[in-house]
Amino acid sequence: VYKRQVTAGYPEKRGKQYMPTKVSNAEIFIERYKELEQAVRSEYNISDYDSISFYLGHKTKYKKYQEDIAYCQKIRNFYAHNGKVPDGVNRDFAVEPNDCMIDFITRLIDDIKNRERCIDVAVRLNEVYWCRMSHSVKTAVRIMREKGFTHVPVLEGGRVVGVFDEFSVINCLSDSENGNLEKDLRFSQIKQYISFTTRGQSGYTFVPSKMYAEELREIIDTAYSEGKRIRMAFVTANGKPDETLLGIITPWDLIK
């Protein structure tokens, strides 16, 4: 980034050659930090009196950068309160942010302005293995074992009506007379083990497609801190169970 050094009388003095002067990293850093502040206040709707460093540092998504963000704010405050190198001091003594700090701030700005929504990180329905009530339980168990699946949504009319998971398998086996799954057993015959109506939605949640993915991550983290575990989030248009399933999200999808 360059700025042109201009003298009085320009452009009349067209015959004189002017050399571009490189903008200092300090100037670039201050401008980037201003842009970061504007992005945070706009995207997260926080007031001008709140510290963006404190706010970002306590969000699940940015906690691992908490110290880096706080340090960048200290550097910003240093320049805001101290300004340029005082007159009489060797200009080479100037302390400037390096390219790494500027790149870090730039990436933060881009990440905040382009936050992913749940539909962006979800595994779309056409890539999800799911079953109907009429499907074979034994076939589903075999595919789960082969593919390493732990949870299989059960759909009717495009809507999630339950989930077949390890608890369903255990309960089915424990209640069977011989400890085996019948060859022709259908999901409709084991509703009590998979249906949200009978087993509830513990471990599962529905989220709207336009919810920010980081908001879902905070919901999952909060649940975990309370001794609860959300194994899967079902993405629908407005986050309602009676809507068509668009995709699924697991905690692993958010980590990736």
The pLDDT tens digits for 101-155 are: 999 999 999 999 999 999 999 999 999 999 999 999 889 989 988 998 888 999 9
- Give 3-state DSSP helix, strand, coil % of the chain, rounded to 5: 50, 15, 35
Would you say residue 59 has pLDDT above 80? yes
What are the φ/ψ torsions at residue 7 (nearest 5 degrees)?
-105, 165
Do 1 and 19 touch, CB atoms closer than 8 A? no
pTM for this model (two decimals)? 0.75
66-82 helix and 99-113 helix, angle to the nearest 10 degrees: 110
Amino acid identity at 104: F
Length of the chain: 256
Q: Identify the DSSP state of 211.
A: S
Separation of alpha carbons 168 and 68, rounded Å = 45
Strands (E), the chain: 2-4, 20-22, 123-124, 151-156, 159-165, 204-208, 232-236, 247-249
Do 19 and 7 touch, CB atoms closer than 8 A? no
Separation of alpha carbons 82 and 150, rounded Å = 58
158-217 tens-digit pLDDT: 999 999 987 777 777 666 655 566 778 888 888 888 888 777 677 899 999 999 999 999
Q: Identify the DSSP state of 97.
A: -
> Which three-class secondary structure state does DSSP give residue 26?
helix
Question: Measured on CA atoms in the order 226, 170, 187, 141, is the torsion positive or negative?
Answer: positive
Do 248 and 124 touch, CB atoms closer than 8 A? no
Q: Residue 246: which of 133, 159, 135, 142 has the closest Cα? A: 159
Higher pLDDT, 78 or 167: 78
pLDDT at 13: 45
Average pLDDT, the chain: 84
Strands (E), 83-216: 123-124, 151-156, 159-165, 204-208
What are the φ/ψ torsions at residue 139 (nearest 5 degrees)?
-65, -40
Local confidence band at 254 (pLDDT 50, 70, 90 cut-offs):
confident
**How do beta strands 159-165 and 151-156 pair?**
antiparallel
